[in-house]
Amino acid sequence: MSADRAAPRPVEVTLHRVRLPLVRAHRAAHGSEALREVVLVEVALDDGQVGWGECSTLARPTYSAEYTSTAWAVLREVLAPAVLAGEAPRVVGHRMAVAALASALADAVLRDVGRPLAQELAAHHGTSPRAAVPAGAVIGRGTVDEVLEEVAAELGAGAALVKLKVSPDPPDLAAAEAVRSTWPDVALAVDWNGTADPTGLRRLDGLGLAYVEQPAPADELVTSAAMAASIGAPVALDESVASRGELDAAVALGAARIVNVKPARCGGPAPAAELVAHARNAGLEVFVGGMVETGVGRAAALAVAALPGCTLPTDLGPSRRYLSPDLTQDLVADGHGRMVTPTGPGIGVVPDPERLAAATVDRWSATRPAP
Ligand code: MG
């Protein structure tokens, strides 16, 4: 991230480990979370400016190898000391921890120059951010009645697409069929989170899906390509793609026609914006997904979703869907179900101090070593 003048130096990094009850449990094929435990990174610059970033790991290593306890350790032992020493952090993997620190630094530097992150990212790619982003609704696993009820509510709120979390379990397949028969024309997608079997894959392919997300496990691109060839709907990859190299491999194998770019998973907003551009150049459709973030992480992700290269509805939703109240001022949809791009400097939101204090279960801070 660049600014028009020399960037002030970070002098303090504070980690806030927070635990927040979700409005409803997040239920996917990889597990269920009723509490969201993430690390917020606060960076203070030598001019007094402060920036915020979120490490959106899950509490257990079920979605990715990285999880909240490993992120806490890497941020504390490696990333924060490197940044405070004025060195570029060098780690293999741990992209969510890297993303949190990168996001906090970008937020602080952009606040200094009064520039919104969405504008900075778009300008870097020769374009302008969209003021509002068409958004879909991601519906967790549940009984047929629960799923139908939730879909009805989200369509009523203007969702541009409905994505169902599914597994090979019969109730998940039945719920998808019930949604399609109730709403024959709605844009419908499914996310297998790596658990699809050939029978379920073919059965749901009959529903005329907008896309089928992550049918095969993250590292099984050849399987993903075979699955993509066996169905009519396009395959979207999420867990499989966090870098240009992984995207190139997926494209070369024919494993995906769509990519879900999650800034938290791709090393932060700037690398995510690069990946969006790279995917578009490779002929893929793109959307920005989320990690059930607090407002800090979701605002940063929305800045990426506002890029015109994100051609499909984002998964990012309004605060009311996840946390009530949010840790920050609420992120909201306009009257047409589109997410409003934050327009304030940096990520455009800050944590509410009282809510942050109430949610904090651990805190760690370090300052720049004396020269
Ligand atoms: Mg997904």
What average pLDDT values come out for the chain (371 residues) when binned by 10 residues?
64 98 86 91 97 96 92 98 92 96 97 97 97 96 96 94 97 98 98 97 97 97 98 97 96 98 95 98 97 96 98 96 94 93 98 98 94 73
Q: Which of 203, 169, 205 is nearest to 188 (CA)?
A: 205
Distance between Cα 88 and ligand 1 center (Å): 30
Coil, helix or strand at residue 309? coil
Which H or E element spans position 260?
Answer: strand 258-261
Residue from 17, 26, 111, 165 carrying the catalytic annotation: 165
- CA of 141 from ligand 1 middle (Å) equals 13
In the three-class reduction of DSSP (H, G, I as helix; E, B as strand; rest coil), residue 253 is classed as helix
CA-to-CA separations, 9 to 48, 66, 368, in angstroms, rounded: 10, 28, 9
Distance 38 CA to ligand 1 centre (A): 18
- Alpha-carbon distance of 239 to 218, in angstroms, equals 5
CA separation for the pair 116, 342 (Å, rounded): 8
Q: Would you call 165 a catalytic residue per the annotation?
A: yes
Ligand 1 centre from 21 Cα, in Å? 21
What residue has token string 């504070």? 14
Report pLDDT for 89. 82
Mind listing the pLDDT tens digit for each residue in 156-208?
999 999 999 999 999 999 999 999 999 999 999 999 999 999 999 999 999 99
| Model pLDDT, residue 6 | 61
Quote the ligand 1 centre to 193 CA distance (angstroms): 6
pTM score of the predicted model = 0.95
Q: Ligand 1 centre from 3 Cα, in Å?
A: 33
**102, 125, 300, 263 alpha-carbon torsion, rounded to 10°:** -70
Q: How many CB atoms lie within 10 A of CB 190?
A: 31
Q: How far is CA 13 from the centre of its chain?
A: 23
163 catalytic per annotation: no
Determine the distance from the C-alpha atom of residue 161 to the mean position of all C-alpha atoms in its chain, rounded to a whole number. Answer: 17
326 and 319 Cβ atoms separated by less than 8 Å: yes
* Single-letter code of the amino acid located at 169: D
Residue 302 has a pLDDT of 98
pLDDT at 344: 97
Given the residues 17, 141, 180, 262, the one annotated as active site = 262
**Confidence at residue 3, expressed as pLDDT on a 0 to 100 scale:** 43
**Among 65, 39, 4, CA closest to 363:** 39
Residue 214 structure tokens: 């992550």
pLDDT reported for residue 1: 46
Tens of pLDDT, residues 224-274? 999 999 999 999 999 999 999 999 999 999 999 999 999 999 999 999 999
